[in-house]
Amino acid sequence: MKKYMRSIKHWDESDRPREKLLKNGAGSLSTTELLAIILGSGTRSLTAVDLSREILKNADQDLLSLNDKSINELMQFKGIGTAKAITIKALLELIKRTKYKQKPQRKIHSSKDVYQEMYADLYNKHQEEFWLLFINNNNVLKGKKQISLGGIDMATVDLKVIFKHALLNNATGIILVHNHPSNNPNPSVEDKLITEKIKKAARLLDISLVDHLIFCDNTYFSFIDQGLLP
């Protein structure tokens, strides 16, 4: 079969970039495949994926290094005309602006702040999820991480995983958050035992357990607000 016959539309559906994105999300695609979607098409002898591979090879696999190339330089690639060169430049400018834009610091001052921070992540979830929020001495949110996903019962919590991520985020404080799909905010006996277990382990690493919040769709339970975290 001649190379120019290798059109993407003849590929197995599981290998086509657009179909992969629809089925598995953008995160499942390689940089080459994502760039191929942006380009839209290749040439008679190159698919969009082949063309993307050549462009990235020329850039040493560093997409942002293409930003140093002019429109005319991008058009030196076979299959890149004015319109595609402009599209690439616009994409790279968006990436640059996103990468270097300073995000405002978010601070956690109360259980309400925690609830609002987690609302988009946990609203209307039908499985129990366990999350960690990482903060510094100034209550600035350094990050958050889903630690486990379970059923209606409390998801399995691994102390090694919790404190590995706390240390990686340079956290001086952690906040536990898990949801109750039943929308009953009251903590179970297991919730209380896990909280106490994590609090004791945190002290050994000089990390503060700031709160444990049980998330429900229309309310929440805060261990600190209820005096359960002295």
User: b/e per residue, 191-226, with b = 16+ CB within 10 A?
Assistant: beebbeebbeebeeeebbbbbbbbbbeeebbbbbee
For 111-222, CATH number?
Answer: 3.40.140.10
Q: Give the pLDDT of residue 41.
A: 86
Q: How confident is the model at residue 3 (pLDDT cuts 50, 70, 90)?
A: very low
pLDDT value at residue 4: 40
Positions of CATH 3.40.140.10 in the chain? 111-222
Q: What is the mean pLDDT of residues 32-61?
A: 88
**Mean pLDDT of the 5-14 span:** 67
- Closest CA relative to residue 194, chosen from 229, 225, 145: 229
- Give the type of residue at 59: A
Band of the pLDDT at 20, cuts 50, 70, 90? confident
pLDDT digits over 84-116, tens only?
Answer: 999 999 988 887 777 666 567 889 999 999 999
43 pLDDT band, cuts 50/70/90, is confident
Tens of pLDDT along 78-91?
889 999 999 999 98
pLDDT at 154 over 50: no
At 219 the pLDDT is 96
> pLDDT value at position 180?
95
For all residues of the chain together, what is the average pLDDT?
Answer: 87
